[in-house]
Structures are given as C-alpha cells and as structure tokens.
Structure 1
Amino acid sequence: MRRLASVTVLLAVLTALADPADAEVPPVPPHGRFDQPYRGFAPPSTLLRDGSPAEAGLDPGPIDDALRRVRSWTEPDPGTGHPMFSGAVTLLAHDGVVVARRASGYALRYADAAGTELAEDRRIPMRTGTVFDLASLSKLFTSIVALQQIEAGRIELTAPVARYLPEFATSGKGAITVEQLLTHTSGLEPDLPLWRDWPDIPSRFKAVLDVAPVNPPGSTYLYSDLNMIALQLLVQQVTGRRLDLLVRDGITGPLGMAHTGYNPPPSARASIAATEFESDPPRGLVWGEVHDENAWALGGVAGHAGVFSTADDLAVLGQALLDGGSYAGHRILRPDTVREMLTDYNGAFPGDAHGLGFELDQRWYMGALTGPRTAGHTGFTGTTLVIDPASRSIAILLTNRVHPNRNWGSINPARRAVADGLARSLAVRPRRGPDAWASIIGDTTTNGASATLTTVPLAPRGDRLTVSFDAFVDADPADQLLLESSSDGVSWRAVPVRANGCGAPGGEVNALTGYGDRCWWTVRAKLPASGPLRLRWRYTAGDEYAGRGVYLDAIRVGDAAGTLLDAERDRDALTASGWRLATR
C-alpha cells in the first residue's frame, strides 16, 4: 500500500503522515467538526437524505453566504455587462445529509454567441434536477471502469497498455503503463483536433493510437484528454463492450443514477442546460449533445468527455466513494481500490497530486476543503465535484458557464466559494474553555494584511520567559503565523517556536503555516528576557487562497517564579486587531 504524502504544516519540519487507513481507527468524531477528521470510510449503510445544516451540526451562515454568492454570479456584473455564468445548481452534503440544494439563473438564456438575452418567456430557468454536460468529470467514470477491470483481473495497473492493446505501442508508447494514463504521467500531449483533422470515428481513434509522446513516459505530469481516450480503447478491448455500456452496467445502473449517461435523447433537451453557440465547427447552439468537439466527433461516447448528469446523481457517486465503494447495498469498487483511487501517485510532481483518476489536494477549486485526501475534478463546461473524506463532505457546483460562449472568464472563484462555504460551516472547537481567538482576515486574500494579538507589557522575574499556546492553522502556504517579542512595542523580532500535533513531532521554526492536517498543535517557546517586553501573535495573509482559518487558545506566559499571564483568565491582557473570540 502506498502512503499518502502529508501537507507540510510547519516550514520544512513536520514529517509525512501515514495513510490513515493503515492506522487504528479512532473513535468516530461528532457531526460537523473540521478539527476532528474522519480516518476511515463512512459506514456502508450511509445514504443521502435531506436535512438542515443544524441537523448535520453545521453553521448555516457560511452555507447561506455561498449560495447567495452563486446566485449573484448569475446576474450581470456592472464591470463586464454579463454574469459569470448563465445558471447553476449547488449541492452540499455532510455525513450523508444534503444540507443545501439550490438552483439559480437559467438553463437556457441567450439567443446568440454575443449574449443577446432571450425574452423572459423563452428562457428556461435552472432547476435542481437540470441535467448538465459534465465535460471532463466524465474522466472519473472512465477511471472507475478501468479500476473495475483491474479488480476483475483483466488489467494490471503497472502493466504496459500495449500488453492489452498492441497497436498502442507505436511511436514510442510501448512503455506507457495503465497507471500513467490514470495519473496523467504518460507523456502524451493534452489533445489533438480529432474533429477537424481526421474524417471519421475509426481514423480519429487510430490517431490516438498512433500519436507519439511529447515527454518520456513517467517524466512529467501533463493533463491529457488522450490518456482517457486511450483508456477507453483499452477497457473496450479487454471487455469487448462499449464504454457507455460499461458505465451503465458498472456504475450508473447499480447506483441508481437514472439521469446519468451519454447521448441523452432529443426528448430530454428541455431538461438539459444549454452550452455554447459554436461556429467552428458550425454546430450552432450546442444543447442536449456533448459540447466537447472531440467527444462529439467520436459519437458522443469518449473517455475524456460525454457524460451528462445531475447534481443529485453526482452526490450519490460521491457518497458511494465515501462509503468505501458501495451505496444502498450495491458495490461498484472494493474499499482497497477506493483507497488507492484517493492516494497520491504523483509525489514526484509537487502541486499535481493525483490518484487513480481523481485529482487530489487542489486548492484552486477545492478551497478550504482541501487536504491530502480531498478528491475531485472539474469540467470545461463549468462543472465541479469535490469529495472530502476527512469531513465526509461533498461539494458540487454545476454551471453552464460556456453559454453563450467560452470567453466570459474563469469561474474558479465560484468553485472555491462553494467549497469554502461548506468548510467554514464545519466547526473548529476551542481547545480550552468556551472560546478561542480566531483570525478574521482569513476570509480575504489581501496580500500582506496582518492580524495581531498583543500582550500587555510583561515584567519577567528572572532572565527567561516560557510561552505556551495551542494553534489551529489551516491557511494558504503563503500565510504565516508568528510569535514575536518587543521591548519597546515598536521593533519586533520573531521568536522561534516548537510545535507538536497530529502525531508528528516538530522542530524549531520561526513561523507556522500550512493546511490539511485539521488538528490543534501544542506550541512552546523559550526566550531570554532582560527586562519588560511585550509578546504578540501576528498572522499575515498571502496573495493566494484563504483556508478554514487560524485559531489561538490556551495562551500562557511564565517565568522562573510562575505564571505571568493566563489568557483564559485575563482576556484584558490581550489587545486584538484582526482577531475575534469565537466558539467555533
């Protein structure tokens, strides 16, 4: 069993954590906790049901805020004159409870590529059951089918693809393995204009078999649609069946995903979100058929794109994986296979963590739910699925952001906002007493913004001070939490600290940072003191992504004679700027 690489939570200090599945399973945390992560799969009996955030132990405020923001992005922006996307469906679930399911905007809104809006009576409002073209989320279905064939013994993960598909060996691809297709380390280029440069489906598939790698296999990470088309050809070869039938019989049928599949019938068009007005190729409004040009040119069934689905059906797939590969008594994968699917195989390529089909640990769209086991995928049409085993949570945002055209900009802020809303609804409980100090600048990404928590002047009795506190840090790696000292309240210097937590001892560092561990650290420091001084805790935001937050608790300062400051008893001894007292 491979081991998951831990996120670095102390600068170059904390060691990698073992795969939680290899450890003894601890007692089950309560609902709604961010700082007590789950270590194993949910009970196989866990089924999705509707409920309020309160029923799931969540704070409804961040969820409501995320839903408001998604709705606002379906309205024209004064700066651009158009919305971020025409419409959206948002679904959030925690511990089997669907705590939010909201539709906003329109499934059909525009009359042309320029963005001329249809008359109100000709528009189709978005509904929670609207069907979306998932685009690259389809890769997850292809990957699951491949893993099912591995379980059945028809394929070996580390075997060359050419063992099963001999014609794939051409042009220097003989060494490419099944694993490299699943992890996008095969060396194949991102795509080919199959729809434009080859005349028919057989020649288009042959082009994928004939293409030469642009990098030596295994030498780099390069996301490629061709990997999944090759995987499609592989599973079709070893089973003698088409990919769409394998998906139907192996995934959507057993899981009861009745609204998921390829090539929806024309009669379903009114229930499907419209996508782009295309002129090259000259398809006009693409609505009810796959948007991706190559998938369209391959007949609508392709390894990289082509699946249509709803938010509720995707939630079932997500819950099946959280449950260890089964749902409502129907198993699609073994638990050990799901564990491997959510294990990082790309440790050699920092920042490109990838399991077997799933992307892992991608803050640019997973937001504050990000961790080493957080899995997901996005789609070009504006779709997003995030599955967080550590909190047993699912965040889904489906949009038709390419309607009326693909040039209206990125929707990544919306993707993060949805994940952030769910993450911030989960509690971080104080370590000691009824509350803890929480930073309020973590909700922004203002580069260089700082929050300070400063003591009154302290007069040590002796030549040394000892400082202890508990810290919860889930922030962007560019953010830093420092302990500093000053004799005059003007000039400050960093105080090295030593932190322990999450089962990994830490050495001495100047700053605390990082995300993904989701637990409190116990922090200690010693510093010389020749006279009165002040201490302060300074949290500085970087210019990237905010995480779940930074918390301080149980602050104590002592000297040779005993305790000088106990913040649990004397709150007035601290002056806060950018911090607040929080109960969760």
Structure 2
Amino acid sequence: MKKFLPFLSLWVFVGVYGQENTLSYASPSEVGMDSIYIHAKVDSIITNGIKNKAFPSAQVLVAKNSKIIFHKAYGYHTYDSIQPAALNDLYDLASVTKIFGPLPALMKLVDEGKLDLDQPFSTYWKPWRTTKDKKDITFREILAHQAGLEPYIVFLNAVLKKNGQVKKRFVKSTAKNRFTHQAYDGLFIKDRFNKKMYRTINRSKVLDEKKYLYSGLTFLIFPELITQLTGEDYETYLQNTFYTPLGISTIGFRPKLKNLPNAIVPTEIDTLFRHDVTQAWVHDENAALLGGVSGNAGLFGTAMDAALMMQFYINFGTYANQQLLATNTVKEFTKVQYPENNNRRGLGFDKPYLNNTTLALVDAYPAPEVSADSFGHSGFTGTFVWADPENQLVYIFLSNRVYPSRDHRNIYNLNIRAAIQQVFYKAIKASDQAN
C-alpha cells in the first residue's frame, strides 16, 4: 500500500438494543450493496485526492437504513506522513457548525413558540428595530439566505495593525480582567469585542433586491440570541438539549480546553493572526474572535458523532426513541423555501441544485443522484455532511483540505466529495437493478 494512504476500518455494533433508529455497524452486503465495488471506488478517489494534495487526511462514513456500512480513515494528519488518521480523530467542522449548533436550538425555539419564522428578526434582536433596511427582514429570509445581507465581514481587520501586529486594546497575550475569551494559545480577546462585531453587523449594508446571497453574519449573533430566548448559556443549552440525549460525546467548542482522548487534526499554518499551526482551536477567524464559541463555526467532532446528528435529522427529530424536535419543524427547515427566486436553500440547511438530477456529476451539487428532499451543509476546512430521507442515506466526509494553506483547492477542482457520494448511489442503483 502507498505510504501516503494508510486506512482504518472498524466493524463494531454501536446501536442500543431495544431502541429504534439507532446507528449500528453492518457490511454493505447486508443492505444489498456491493462491498468490493464501494471500497475500490472510494479508495481510488481518496488516493488520487491525497496524491494531488487536496488534503493530507480524510474520513468517510456512510450509513444506509440506520446501518453504518462504510467507515474509513485515510492518510496522515499532515503531509509529513508521521501521524496516521484514525477513526476517532476530531476535525474542525467549520460551517457545518451552522446546522449542528444554532440550527437545532432555533428549531426547538420554533417548537416552543418562542420564535416565529415569519416575524421580523427585529422582533427578537432589538438593534434592528430602528434600522430602516433591516427592521422588516424575517427570520425565514435570513435562514434561507434570501435577506440580501452581506456575505462576510473580516473582523480580523479591526484587530490587526497595518504591520500585522495585534492591537493590544483588543488582544492580550495572557488572560486578564476583561480579556478572558481565548482565541488561541497566547491570544485572549477583549470580552466586549463581540459587541463591536454586533454593532458592525447591525450597520452592514443590505441589497435592495431580495435574492439568494449566502451570508453567515447572523450566525455570529445567534448564540447571543439563543441565550436570551432560552435563559441558558448557548454552549450549555446545546449540550443538555441535544448532544447528551443523542449520546454525542465529541461535538463541542474549544477542544483544547477539554480533556478528550481523541487526536485533533490540524487545519492551517496561519501566517496572519496566530502565526502557528492552527490545531485544537477554531480555524475561522471570526469565530476565534468570539473566543471559539460561535454559530458560524467553532464546533469540532468525529465522523461518528456527525453521523449521529445527521441520523437524528433524517429521522426528523427522533433518535433512540427520543423525540427532541417536532417532525413538522424539521421537515419545514429542510425544504426549499424560495424556489421561485432560484434559491435552493432550506432554513439553514443546504439543498441540491434545483435542477440537480438533470446535471452531470461535474456540474451537479452535490451528487446528481441525491433526492430533492435531501439536505446537509459543507465546511470551509473540507467537511461535508448530507442526509437523504428518501434513500435513507447519511454521508459524512471530513478532511483538513486547508492544510497547509487554504489556497489548496483541489478538493473542489477534483469534485471529490460529490464523486465519493455518487459511489454509494450507484451501488444502491446496481443493487435495485439486480433485484
């Protein structure tokens, strides 16, 4: 086997006896899929990806009919080929945080009648009530990226001087009074810097025309809003309301501060802010400036725990006989909201292109075979999670494609994530034809 491509697989039963819809391991043949075909195809795509430096490590997990039929770790943490990737490694989930962090909390608030999707966001976020171009924007429009908000604001620009040094009024090298939000080893952000971020977002421009434009700005606000509406700390609320009941043990913020046994895969060699290999601290600079706890990024987790979250969604709010979210709420959030505006998005969730089934793999998003009911999200660090209720398929892809630099874009150029996803749909199709 090539030196750059060790892989690990594991076949153990992890389901809970007597509980429905829990994940357990099985072979592809047990769900009527060709194991040899799947392993050969996926191994080939990943091998090519590592060879072309799309990422140094990757992990693929697929569940069909609540059975994990594929789970492998590939490559090494970095291109020096020292530490092999392992099945329980933690990855920076990047924007997958949006659907694993604030989104389930917002769905719960809708369930409880504390949040109305068709009310203006200003109903819940007071600063927007006096902002002419924002006061009437609804929560639904925001979550569907139909509000016309700016896509992204680089808050790091407010922290760095022209010579690249940090401004000491915002960043200290040790924890001090009013500087307790840790962004990295030796980087502590002013506790009230979040207020500066909120003010900048509140004053940001809005498009005159209502059309699809992806924006993560309000996801920086959501943790504060969720805390206000629940009366509980955002991080604690997620843990108590979702992660603990689902049996999720690794998904969380700031893993460096936790005593987890898992190895943590490095992301980028940061030459701008942290001047070090970004590892065990969130890669996204905006989330880092919030102390690593945010709604746009910040969560780390294993492929197994990511699969638990997506299985929870594919079951429309139920897992292990626990109904944590109302079925109708999950269905509403995972459906296309504004197709008439050529907007494919659900509420927070990403969706396939509206004409996806008519496209070739190279043009589709994600694989053209996914059902119109499917949903998920991608992450900047090279992560991707997708659930397909019609085909009862959960697909998890984790990688650190930004190592050593975010300029590495072959994960996109080679269309690796969709190509791997397609392998499993073709295996399902071949099985159906054989029967």
Cα 1:399/1:73, change in 2 over 3 Å: farther
* Structure holding more helix per residue: 2
1:131 equivalent in alignment to 2:90: yes
Instruction: Report the TM-score, using the length of structure 1 for normalisation.
Output: 0.61
User: 1:276, 1:71 → 2: CA distance?
Assistant: 20
Look up the match of 2:349. 358
User: 1:194, 1:58 → 2: CA distance?
Assistant: 48
- SS at structure 2 position matched to 1:360: coil
Question: Deviation at 1:168?
Answer: 2.6
User: 1:106, 1:383 → 2: CA distance?
Assistant: 16
Specify which of 46, 50, 62 is matched with residue 71 of structure 1: 46
User: 1:309, 1:63 → 2: CA distance?
Assistant: 25
Question: Deviation at 1:361?
Answer: 1.4
- SS at structure 2 position matched to 1:386: strand
- Specify the code of the residue in structure 2 equivalent to 1:359: D
User: 1:66, 1:291 → 2: CA distance?
Assistant: 31
Look up the match of 2:429. 427
1:205 equivalent in alignment to 2:197: yes
Equivalent residues, number: 373
Partners of 2:375 and 2:387 within 8 A in 1: yes
Partners of 2:148 and 2:212 within 8 A in 1: yes
Cα deviation 1:464-496 (Å, max 9, x = unaligned): xxxxxxxxxxxxxxxxxxxxxxxxxxxxxxxxx
Cα 1:156/1:90, change in 2 over 3 Å: same
- SS at structure 2 position matched to 1:186: coil
1:393 equivalent in alignment to 2:389: no
Look up the match of 2:233. 242
Partners of 1:295 and 1:306 within 8 A in 2: yes
Cα 1:211/1:369, change in 2 over 3 Å: farther
User: 1:147, 1:429 → 2: CA distance?
Assistant: 36
Select between 223-232 and 255-264 the one with higher mean Cα deviation.
Answer: 223-232
User: 2:369, 2:61 → 1: CA distance?
Assistant: 15
Cα 1:171/1:208, change in 2 over 3 Å: farther
Question: Deviation at 1:338?
Answer: 1.3
- SS at structure 1 position matched to 2:292: coil
Cα 1:220/1:233, change in 2 over 3 Å: farther
Look up the match of 1:149. 109
- Specify the code of the residue in structure 1 equivalent to 2:66: G
Question: Deviation at 1:332?
Answer: 2.2
Q: Percent identity?
A: 28
Question: Deviation at 1:417?
Answer: 1.6
User: 1:224, 1:264 → 2: CA distance?
Assistant: 26
Specify which of 154, 157, 173 is matched with residue 193 of structure 1: 154
Question: Deviation at 1:143?
Answer: 1.3
Look up the match of 2:30. 55
Question: Deviation at 1:428?
Answer: 5.5
- Specify the code of the residue in structure 2 equivalent to 1:227: T
Specify which of 152, 167, 180 is matched with residue 141 of structure 2: 180
Partners of 1:208 and 1:230 within 8 A in 2: no
User: 1:281, 1:159 → 2: CA distance?
Assistant: 39
Question: Deviation at 1:86?
Answer: 0.6
Look up the match of 2:173. none
Cα 1:296/1:73, change in 2 over 3 Å: farther
- SS at structure 2 position matched to 1:258: coil
1:103 equivalent in alignment to 2:78: no
Cα deviation 1:317-336 (Å, max 9, x = unaligned): 11112222111122221111
Instruction: Report the TM-score, using the length of structure 2 for normalisation.
Output: 0.80
- Specify the code of the residue in structure 2 equivalent to 1:265: K
Specify which of 305, 315, 320 is matched with residue 313 of structure 1: 305
Specify which of 208, 214, 220 is matched with residue 206 of structure 2: 214
Cα 1:54/1:427, change in 2 over 3 Å: same
Specify the structure having the higher radius of gyration (Cα): 1
User: 1:421, 1:162 → 2: CA distance?
Assistant: 45
Select between 141-150 and 223-232 the one with higher mean Cα deviation.
Answer: 223-232
Cα deviation 1:493-528 (Å, max 9, x = unaligned): xxxxxxxxxxxxxxxxxxxxxxxxxxxxxxxxxxxx
Unaligned runs of at least 5 residues, structure 2? 1-17, 160-169, 171-189, 357-363
Partners of 2:32 and 2:431 within 8 A in 1: no
User: 1:357, 1:278 → 2: CA distance?
Assistant: 29
Partners of 2:90 and 2:262 within 8 A in 1: no
Within 5 A, what are the aligned runs for 1:499-578? none
Root-mean-square deviation (Å): 2.2
- SS at structure 1 position matched to 2:403: coil
Cα deviation 1:52-96 (Å, max 9, x = unaligned): 11101112244213321343135333xxxxx21110010011001
User: 1:372, 1:273 → 2: CA distance?
Assistant: 33
User: 2:224, 2:430 → 1: CA distance?
Assistant: 47
- Specify the code of the residue in structure 1 equivalent to 2:155: L
Question: Deviation at 1:206?
Answer: 2.3
* Structure holding more strand per residue: 1
1:166 equivalent in alignment to 2:126: yes
1:263 equivalent in alignment to 2:224: no
User: 1:209, 1:167 → 2: CA distance?
Assistant: 10
Unaligned runs of at least 5 residues, structure 1? 1-42, 78-82, 111-116, 431-581
User: 2:34, 2:194 → 1: CA distance?
Assistant: 54
- Specify the code of the residue in structure 2 equivalent to 1:262: F
- Specify the code of the residue in structure 2 equivalent to 1:399: S
Cα deviation 1:260-309 (Å, max 9, x = unaligned): 11111355486111000111113311000000000001110111101111
Cα 1:327/1:429, change in 2 over 3 Å: closer
Partners of 1:360 and 1:375 within 8 A in 2: yes
